[in-house]
Structure 1
Amino acid sequence: MRLRLTEFRPRIGPHEHRVVQPRHTLRHASLTAPEPIGLLLGDHDGLNRLAGLFSFAAYSRHTIVHVPLRDGVPPDEGWGERVDLVLAHHSYGLRPSKWPELRHALRTGAPLSVETDQARTRDDAEAWRRRQTYADFRDELRHATHARTFFLFGSRDAFARTAVDLAWAADWGPRQKGADTGASVLATGVSPKQPPGGGHPYEVLVCFKKPAR
């Protein structure tokens, strides 16, 4: 998949960061953070482009992927406050509390086009699924919500697995019963690492919804 992005190189103190955003708004995609259940609602284009962005994030350890999902068309269903999405590798060390300062520094960007490797993404997603059965498996997405932004921190394989799930949702959703009438259809989910102590598990439900005419 070819992604058209905008690349920023803001400098905060002595450190330069690389942040990319989709060049064009995902008009019919929205996200509410899990408290403990969130909702990612999107049409075929929105879910497919998100799949591409997760794939790009998987192989971009030194890049922050920022998806301003609050800029799209407000959804006519769902719950909670809409949030943006940020993807970053565990190893990047991004702290959510520092994100507002970094986001404010995203002023002048340059166009960037990249091609994701779908075969490699599928292979790495399958490797993640195989390792998930191991007793010592720890390769899960971590999450946080701060400043109207939902953060997912992960590894190459964890992001690849989510990319494949989102691509499947983009393809499968439109073909399900009721989808052609504009009803939302549950397609998959994103289950980040659960906090200790039990309670209701955290999850983001991923639903396909055909945009209204």
Structure 2
Amino acid sequence: MELRLREFRPRIGPHEHRVVQPGQPLRHTSLRDPSDSAPYGMLVGDHDGLSRLAGLFSFAAFSRHTIVHVTLRDCVPPVEGCGELVDLVLAHPEAGLRPSKWPELRRALRRDTPLTVRTDEARTERHARAWRERPYDRGQLRHTTHARTYFLIGGRDALASAATSFAHAADRGPRQKGVVKGRLAYMDSLGGEPAPHGDGSRHPEVLICFKAYPPYAHVKQPGH
């Protein structure tokens, strides 16, 4: 997949960071915070949004020193779900991102340059499969919410696994019953990739749902 991004090089103190954002916002994609007050979070997107999230997770998986920032708070909000609308940030530990410092870093995102990258879907699938085949010995994504942003910080294979979940949702979403009438379709979830809560009680599940935006004539189902 070809991704058009905006690249920032903000400097906080002696450290320079590399932050990328989608070149155009994911207008019809939203994320509701999977906090302790809600049983699960909900990410709702159309085909374009879910496809680009698959690419962004794939890019993040193989970019250890890059912070991927997806602005989702200013989307067209769906009526489904509960909880606060939040942005999404993906990073490896090597990127040196501390969520508590994110507001300062976000304010420093002023001058950007266009960037085009290509993701390798076959490579992403290989690493996702390797992650799924290691049920008792695999890294997971640390998660927290701060400053209206949901952070997922972790390694290559867990991010690659999440990328394949979004690719699956984007591919099969338009085929689901009722989506041409604006109905929501549950497709997949991020349940195993994020690490359990501190007490080990449960994983903070994020449901991945497909929802077309009106007018619905642009939704092409198989056979039509």
Same fold (TM over 0.5): yes
Deviation track 1:48-68 (CA, whole Å, cap 9, x = no partner) reads 000000000001000000000
Q: Distance in 2 between matches of 1:197 and 1:153?
A: 19
Structure 2 SS opposite 1:172: helix
Structure 1 SS opposite 2:20: strand
The 5 Å alignment of 1:63-212 reads 63-132=66-135, 135=136, 137-191=137-191, 192-199=194-201, 201-212=203-214
Structure 2 SS opposite 1:131: coil
Structure 1 SS opposite 2:110: coil
Q: Distance in 1 between matches of 2:205 and 2:110?
A: 33
Q: What's the CA shift for 1:152?
A: 0.3
2:44 matches 1:41 = yes
Structure 2 SS opposite 1:26: coil
Q: Distance in 1 between matches of 2:162 and 2:185?
A: 18
- Mean Cα deviation higher: 194-203 or 150-159: 194-203
Structure 1 SS opposite 2:105: helix
User: Number of matched residues?
Assistant: 210
Q: Distance in 2 between matches of 1:59 and 1:197?
A: 30
Paired residues of 2:17 and 2:95 also in contact (CA < 8 A): no
Q: What's the CA shift for 1:200?
A: 5.1
Q: Distance in 2 between matches of 1:4 and 1:121?
A: 19
Q: What's the CA shift for 1:164?
A: 0.7
- Mean Cα deviation higher: 8-17 or 177-186: 177-186
Q: What's the CA shift for 1:78?
A: 1.6
Q: Distance in 2 between matches of 1:7 and 1:165?
A: 25
Q: What's the CA shift for 1:199?
A: 4.2
Paired residues of 2:131 and 2:138 also in contact (CA < 8 A): no
Q: Distance in 2 between matches of 1:92 and 1:115?
A: 20
- Letter of the aligned partner of 2:159 in structure 1? F
Q: What's the CA shift for 1:196?
A: 3.5
Q: What's the CA shift for 1:201?
A: 3.8
Counterpart of 1:15? Answer: 15
Q: Distance in 1 between matches of 2:176 and 2:78?
A: 20
TM-score, normalisation: structure 2: 0.90
* 1:198–1:154 distance in 2 versus 1, CA, 3 Å: closer
2:43 matches 1:32 = no
* 1:200–1:158 distance in 2 versus 1, CA, 3 Å: closer
The root-mean-square deviation of aligned C-alpha atoms, in Å, is 1.2
Structure 1 SS opposite 2:133: helix
- Letter of the aligned partner of 1:70 in structure 2? R
Q: What's the CA shift for 1:12?
A: 0.3
Q: Name structure 2 gaps, 5 residues minimum.
A: 216-224
Q: Distance in 2 between matches of 1:176 and 1:183?
A: 9
Q: Distance in 2 between matches of 1:42 and 1:163?
A: 14
